[in-house]
Amino acid sequence: MSVSPVKRLVLETMWLLDKPAKATEISKDTRLSFPTVMMHLIGLARMGYVKQHEKGYYVITEKGRKVLGFPEITNEKASEILAYLPLEKSFHFYVDIGKPLNIHAASLQDFCDKILKIDIASMEFHINRGDFEVWFMDLGDIELSRKMLLLKEQKIFGENLRQKLYEIVKSRYEELAKIRKNESASM
């Protein structure tokens, strides 16, 4: 089932926030009016794509994630995304074309750690080129790749970019690690 472009924007914003959010926060991030966001949240809730987490806070449901085109992540898929990679498949940081930093990330966790220390110019270079999107897609993580596209569209720079990138990748890493752990424990 498809949703209108505005409902899709509200869902993608909630998905990108990756936490329970108030309609005012969604309104600010989407640049839509509060009444418009509330109307769409009510419609999305009726469709089962969002639910009220606690009074005034909404979260996207698994059904909402599926309507955005994201497959369910199994233990096996989470393990594949989190795996340690050989050097040739690692992410190699550059500050410009032909200017490597000689720093690489061999896993999602390693990437998360490195972005706290990497030169801002390198992050800006890679986000603008779409390099993070491509690497995350190569890892098999469609969701994280799409989050990078949305982050790029926000045109964030400097330390704000570092912080937002770190939050997104760390949150995704923790989510995948939890899926891997929970499904392993239930076997």
CATH 1.10.240.10 applies to domain 5-67: no
pLDDT range class, residue 140, cuts 50, 70, 90: very high
What is the C-alpha to C-alpha distance for residues 50 and 19, in angstroms, rounded to an integer? 12
* N residues, the chain: 187
With a cut of 70, say whether residue 83 has pLDDT above it.
yes
Q: What is the 3-state secondary structure (H, E, C) of the chain?
A: CCCCHHHHHHHHHHHHHCCCEEHHHHHHHHCCCHHHHHHHHHHHHHHCCEEEEECCEEEECHHHHHHCCCCCCCHHHHHHHHCCCCHHHCEEEEEECCEEEEEEECCHHHHHHHCCCCCHHHHHHHHHHCHHHHHHHHHCCHHHHHHHHHHHHCCCCHHHHHHHHHHHHHHHHHHHHHHHHHHHHCC
Q: Mind listing the pLDDT tens digit for each residue in 30-51?
A: 889 999 999 999 999 999 999 9
The structure's pTM equals 0.77
| pLDDT for position 1 | 61
Mean pLDDT for the chain?
A: 91
Q: Give ∠ CA 129-133-138 in degrees, rounded to 5.
A: 125
Residues of the chain with CATH 1.10.10.10: 5-67
Mean pLDDT of 156-177: 93
What is the reported pLDDT for 161? Answer: 95
CA within 13 Å, CB half, 164 = 21
Output the pLDDT for position 160.
Answer: 94
**Taking 60 as the threshold, does the pLDDT of residue 132 lie above it?**
yes
Q: What is the pLDDT of residue 184?
A: 54
Name, in order, each residue with C-beta under 8 angstroms of 94's C-beta and a sequence gap of 6 or more: 100, 101, 122, 125, 126
